[in-house]
Amino acid sequence: MLVKVKAKDFHILRELEVETYGDTFGPYNSDADMEDYYQTVLSLEQIQKDLADPESETYFVLDRHQEICGFLKFNWGKAQTEPVEMDNAFEIQRIYVKKEHHGKGYGKEMFTFALKEAQKHGFDWVWLGVWERNFKAQNFYKQFGFERFSEHHFITGEAVDTDWLLRKHLKENPQA
């Protein structure tokens, strides 16, 4: 089950973001680079700002005991993390599941929810960024019909990685 994150839950969200980002990317980055990311991109102030943005939504995914297992964040309009050459686009910015809940279907549940939200609100395109070395995620997105259209640099402290940008057209007769 997904529930929208309330502004008052920003501390809980930040703890979850730090935990899941650390589990995912900590092994590939220095402690200093990770700490820089936590203090800037995942600062309490930035998370509060994101939660207040009317063109962004964040959801917790809960298990059957109402325990938080992960979170999803998506954006549209000016809240998108970068300009893309697609009209009426919807960005899936973050989708993370706690390590102990991997393989239980929560990622698929959140991803499917995001796609349905994009369709429900009439968006033409859905896009996202994925680390060039995250082959498991790339294969997952490919199963949903996403294709690579560009790339960008993703910065964690002083580390610079390449993310592939993937997209999917949601309506008939796509015009790229």
Domain membership of residue 6 (yes or no) is yes
Domain membership of residue 176 (yes or no) is no
Checking if the pLDDT of 54 tops 90, the result is: yes
Domain membership of residue 149 (yes or no) is yes
pLDDT at 171: 78
Checking if the pLDDT of 172 tops 70, the result is: no
Mean of per-residue pLDDT scores for the chain: 95
- Our count of domains for the chain comes to 1
**CATH value at residue 51:** 3.40.630.30
Checking if the pLDDT of 50 tops 60, the result is: yes
pLDDT digits (tens, 9 = 90+) for 70-116: 999 999 999 999 999 999 999 999 999 999 999 999 999 999 999 99
pLDDT digits (tens, 9 = 90+) for 130-142: 999 999 999 999 9
Range(s) of the domain holding residue 18: 2-169
The CA-atom distances, in angstroms, between 9 and each of 34, 84, 164 are: 23, 30, 31
Domain membership of residue 175 (yes or no) is no
Domain membership of residue 148 (yes or no) is yes
**Cα angle for residues 124, 126, 127 (degrees, 5° grid):** 140
Domain membership of residue 174 (yes or no) is no
User: Measured in whole angstroms, how far is the alpha carbon of residue 68 from the centre of its chain?
Assistant: 16
Checking if the pLDDT of 175 tops 80, the result is: no
pLDDT digits (tens, 9 = 90+) for 15-31: 999 999 999 999 999 99
Domain membership of residue 133 (yes or no) is yes
The answer to whether 63 touches 101, Cβ cutoff 8 Å, is yes
